[in-house]
A and B are shown apart, each in its own frame.
Chain A
Amino acid sequence: MTQPPDPSGPSESSAFSGQSPESGPSSPASGSQRGGAWRRPRLGTWTSRLQAGRLVGLAGLAGLVIAAAALGVGFWRSEHGSEAAADPRSDAPATAAAAAASNAAVSTTSGLPASAADDGVTRGRYLARAGNCQACHTAPGGAPWAGGRGIETPFGVVYAGNLTPDPTGLGGWQAGDFWRALHHGRSRDGRMLYPAFPYTHYTRVTRADADALWAFMQSLPPVAQANRPHELRWPVSTQWALGVWRALYFRPGVQQADARQDASWNRGAYLVQGLGHCSACHSTRNALGASEVLDLSGGMIPMQAWYAPSLAAPNEASLADWPLAEIAQLLATGNSPRASTLGPMAEVVLHSTQHLTPADLTAMAVFLKSVPPTAPTEARNTSMERIPVKAGAALRGEKLYGDHCAACHGAQGEGVAGAYPRLAGNRAVTLPVTANLVQVVIHGGFGPATAGRPRPFGMPPFAMVMSDADVAAVLTYLRQTWGNQAGPVSELEVAQQRSLAR
């Protein structure tokens, strides 16, 4: 959760920036792979799709301020009208019968062993995993739940807050304060929080689940660690800008069950659209960093140079024709017969979905499988200009593939079941957006070490071995061989993506 800036917080440390003595040699093609560069997490909501979005965002924000001011005032009323009619800081658990009836369908934690005297802590811990809260609220190597991790956005860095019951964290908070943060996106003192804390999704969480999360967080060992002030550019750094943004893009409201669908579907929708905040990555953000909670049509993950594929497009990551068990298997283990996870999704599987019950994973699978399919997507303009691929690149690509890839992925791109992905006919290889391919070749990666698949195989990083032209050639080769029919990858695209993937 994002906390208001604390002036007593530690200042930005420069120790992690620049070239460290531990840096290896620069890559043959660029110096962007500095070993000393500290990699901040770049998840979050207050973000836009592209670097270019930063400029557009600021200009757009300024322009929209006036237009939206009136709207903002109007919406402020609505935000504090019906939803907030009851004192949002009320400490009483949600007991409103109507709300409870609608909520029951979605907030029943299916399959979680219920303990007789569960005070909510066990369920809260489970829900915190469903929301992957700890991934942002723990700094790398830092005390768990004490915050301090910087979330990089196109507008600056937002530092996650300390959630432990220490005076520097949520020590003085009440359950009602926590509910207001989760549901209304406001801190205890009423300040609006930055939506890097994805309250646009978390607002869908029921009061009962919020109370369980609260009970769990109160059970954590207190850690004294002052919150670090955000480093945001003006005007994003102001509360009024945030007010405008919220007027445009934030509607508080608990998830309502869809009576036309069964309980499993509704539970899945609640997890995907609420705590799971899947569309925070799997949708496209506008210039102001906003995205639609219900949209799963894919998008570049801000500041990460990874592409979260469309969960609706049949040529991307639609799950419409998958068996439910395989969807659940992918979320539980990071691997399945048809796909495996790397990068940001591996992190989600590692910290979040592998801990969910089979019933909840199946519910998510039921919902994801039902996402209405869209038409196949075309190559998107990701600000990367398409440059004609040089003649001879195909031969070069074939040779590079033979030298570096075929030993594991097979001469015909057939892969090794359970270890190395098949490349022939693999949607991840033929995605219209090539960012992930470049990431994987340059940085390599392991799948997540999950309980179901504790010893994953690894892909070597080729940053030090392959130039941008090499990466482009080998990727073009495997996108156009063994029946794969996808556009080529140009050297310029690789160079741009390599420089984005800091």
Chain B
Amino acid sequence: MIGALMTTLRLPALLLLLLLSLLTSAARATAKFEDTMAQRTLACSVCHGAEGRAAADGYYPRIAGKPAGYLYNQLLHFREGRRHYGLMTRLLEPLSDAYLSEIAGHFASLDLPYPPPARVTATPAVLERGRLLALQGDPSHKLPACVACHGTRLTGVQPNTPGLLGLPRDYLNAQLGAWRSGQRRAHAPDCMAQVARTLTPEDLNAVANWLAAQPLPANPHPVTRLPMPPSVACGSAILPAGAMTR
């Protein structure tokens, strides 16, 4: 009698378990395939985060919502060997200009919320130096302010100039370092190379720390134009996206 009761109890339990496991594996496996750009670019999100929102590790930048021309130029730079990161180059080598442009447009079109900035560890003095550089530059060293080219809100300018907020400090440091060393390049005249070479290592660190600590403004989108023409000439900002490709 007891045995029979146990069996009657056990069977539904087993069935339930079986059903559950089937359901979970089915849910995992049939994560509904859709013929979308998001589906086609899943190779990007493993590093750049879901929908290009950036991952937690601080090396891979957010790409969602950056200006399309900027993203397109970077894809071309990686494919053509003007920016150096093996995984990116290998992924992009078999892709056409047209498809890279479409991929850039896809990520540029994503309007996703930004997380709050990471906690700051730099000293107040360092942050203050960074703030001054970003907002006012350093005329004594002919350093333009970041806002002069990247927009008053530092959210970038359409179509080719990226925003500087919402990026991890490690990434900003690495990029400014790459500009300094010539590892990273852009269309001539290469204004960022000039700026980065003028920055001292201390100033570079200060401005990266300050930028990484800023929350996004209420309107995080790139502006369509700058209030006044910048003091330095930038090939990337002026030329049409893709101008450097063959």
Contacts and interface: CB of A to CB of B under 8 A. Distances in A.
B43 A411 contact: no
B86 interface: yes
A448 to B, nearest CB: 4
Contacts of B173: 21
Given A22-B184, A456-B40, A38 B84 contact: yes
B99 A21 contact: no
Given A22-B175, A406-B29, A449-B95, A36 B84 contact: yes
| Max chain A C-beta neighbours (<10 A), residue from B39, B59, B90, B174 | B90
A464 interface: yes
Contact of B93 (A15, A36, A347): A347
Contacts of A419: 33, 35, 39
A173 interface: no
Q: Is the interface of A mostly helix, strand, loop or mixed?
A: loop
A141 B81 contact: yes
A484 B145 CA distance: 61
B94 A24 contact: no
Contacts of B41: 458
Given A449-B96, A454-B96, A457-B39, A406 B28 contact: yes
Interface residues of B, number: 50
A491 to B, nearest CB: 21
B59 A25 contact: yes
Interface size class of A (residues with CB under 8 A): 35 or more
Contact of B45 (A22, A143, A455, A460): A460
Contacts of A141: 80-82, 246
Interface of B is mostly: helix
Nearest to A141: B80
A140 B86 CA distance: 13
B183 A22 contact: yes
A416 B43 contact: no
A155 to B, nearest CB: 23
B26 interface: yes
Contacts of B238: none
B140 interface: no
A24 B85 contact: yes
B57 interface: yes
The 3 closest A-B pairs by CB, nearest first: A411-B29, A458-B43, A141-B80
Interface of B: 25-26, 28-31, 33, 35, 39-47, 57, 59-60, 79-87, 89-96, 98-99, 102, 173-175, 177-178, 181-184, 246
27 contacts: A21-B173, A21-B181, A22-B178, A23-B174, A24-B87, A37-B86, A38-B81, A39-B86, A39-B89, A143-B246, A402-B28, A406-B25, A410-B29, A411-B26, A411-B28, A419-B39, A444-B87, A445-B94, A446-B91, A454-B99, A458-B43, A458-B44, A460-B42, A460-B43, A461-B43, A461-B46, A461-B90
Interface of A: 15-16, 20-25, 33-39, 139-141, 143-144, 334, 346-347, 350, 402, 406-408, 410-412, 416, 419-420, 443-449, 454-465
